[in-house]
A and B are shown apart, each in its own frame.
Chain A
């Protein structure tokens, strides 16, 4: 095969591999049949409608939202000052701190989940929701630090000195001239963190308790018992939600600059 034919073919296969499953899920969720199947049998919206009636989906959606919003917010509360310190000062062990902060990306989630269960939840009887919240905060922190650092590095540090010489305190300078200029970076970090937390499976796998489950885990256990297309419908809805968020972020923030 010549490169002229070969490269478009590879491109097509890669794109198909990346996006194909999404189309399969959407098609399967519109199926008229009783079981999850592809190609779909007939057409109906009944499974999409059913998603909203399943009690456990509603509960786990609420928990996932709480974790995604609360965990990301907590990660930013920790991550913004950390990024600021790392980018503005020569800290002793600065590189080490940076590495430690990015560890949650590197360590496999399943190990984190198991470790938290075995060494925190079981021995100390720590509340599952609280453990999930801490785990998600830690998981999102690397993204928060990375994205906020990127926008801080694009911001000249002398504007803070300029603000101080015009009468502002150091802290005032941070809130008056630094924060407004990294606002879109913080929003981008929030969105990235939200999506990461919301779609998180391995860490949350071990951390479920009575009535406490994140949505992806709940979907897994739902499928073990009920093999109907409503899981596909829910997946499609979540995928659309993620796409919508990222689309809006790209539109208004130029999201791809930060990721």
Chain B
């Protein structure tokens, strides 16, 4: 893959003073990809993004973009755009002047600036607002101005910091569509940072899950959602029933449990989503401890020798009574197999 890498991070280590935020990170991104950095706060995703933008110098390692080593290139000469979480529009300038800011610094002819800004504002649907000040726009509109301001610069990479987190549900869908359209039309390589797995799954071509300053897993949304490799990723994408595996046996509350069939030797854990749990039949016995109705499904909490189990059934089935005994199964063929339990 390295021959097709457009942006690559090599053994990147980032630190704030003595605190190491990201350690020996390797990553390569192809031209035109839409990549999400996903992880909880403090995992190093924003730090990594800031180093790509040039706002933070790496302690060691290298950043290459389009064949050139840009590790020591200053932020204002990198051709990297960044849409800030707070949008960071210039409050004293009109929408038009905000978008024109970078073009004016490039000393382009006035007519060219005019036409680029006009086209940029048109593409985000804000032509009518060019004379307004940022303070007179809604959050969603401000974000689109910030997007246009970065895009008129024709950056090689566009970075977005939590692009959907400040928007309400309706605007979120709108912005998601907008970002996908911009990406398709311009072919710009996009990286966005998010702590929301739903955002990452729905928007990205590829997801980089980060934890404690290192990459936990890289993969397509399907990979991440269906085949998490570690306990952390499994938990993050909604697997509720998480068990360690040692010596081919499931490690549960009351001791190891045998499984029919053998697991590959590198299996460190097995995880099931609530809806993967079979209720009503199976080798295990449990007691219904709680139930909740959520429209299309009913969720149950079971007490069992394996510990607490979360199960889910179609709401069209009859409700199971709290306190009743129930047989259940954790089918191995449905489980996601973890290679790392930690």
Contacts and interface: CB of A to CB of B under 8 A. Distances in A.
Interface in B46-95: 53-55, 75-78, 80-82, 84, 86, 88-92
B153 A159 contact: no
B149 interface: yes
B92 A181 contact: yes
Given A161-B55, A180-B92, A181-B92, A166 B86 contact: no
B105 A162 contact: no
B90 A163 contact: yes
A162 B91 contact: no
Contact of A164 (B75, B86, B90, B149): B75
B92 A168 contact: no
Contacts of A180: 92
Contacts, number: 62
A168 B105 contact: yes
A180 B98 CA distance: 13
A236 B91 CA distance: 41
Interface in A116-159: 155-156, 158-159
B32 interface: no
A158 B91 CA distance: 12
Bin chain A's interface residue count.
10 to 19
B140 to A, nearest CB: 18
Contacts of A155: 91
A180 B92 CA distance: 7
Interface in A152-191: 155-156, 158-159, 161-169, 172, 176-177, 180-181
B129 interface: no
A161 B101 contact: no
Interface of A is mostly: helix
Contact of A161 (B88, B89, B105, B149): B88
A165 B53 contact: yes
Contacts of A156: 86, 88
Nearest to B90: A177
A156 to B, nearest CB: 6
A181 B86 contact: no
Contacts of B101: 163, 166, 176
B92 A158 contact: no
Interface in B280-299: none
Interface in A44-103: none
B106 interface: yes
Contact of B84 (A158, A167, A168, A172): A158
Contacts of B139: none
A108 B177 CA distance: 64
Contacts of B40: none
Contacts of A158: 84, 86, 88
A161 B49 CA distance: 13
B256 interface: no
B82 A167 contact: no
B102 interface: yes
A91 to B, nearest CB: 14
B76 A164 contact: yes
A168 B149 CA distance: 14
B89 A159 contact: yes
Contacts of B82: 161-162, 165
30 contacts: A155-B91, A156-B86, A156-B88, A158-B84, A158-B88, A159-B88, A159-B89, A159-B90, A161-B53, A161-B55, A161-B75, A161-B82, A162-B89, A163-B101, A164-B76, A165-B53, A165-B55, A165-B76, A165-B82, A166-B76, A166-B102, A166-B105, A166-B153, A167-B76, A167-B77, A167-B106, A168-B76, A168-B105, A176-B101, A181-B92
Interface of A: 155-156, 158-159, 161-169, 172, 176-177, 180-181
The 3 closest A-B pairs by CB, nearest first: A166-B102, A162-B88, A158-B88
Given A166-B149, A167-B102, 18 more contacts: A156-B86, A158-B84, A159-B88, A159-B89, A161-B75, A161-B88, A164-B55, A165-B53, A165-B76, A166-B76, A166-B153, A167-B106, A168-B76, A168-B105, A172-B105, A177-B90, A180-B92, A181-B92
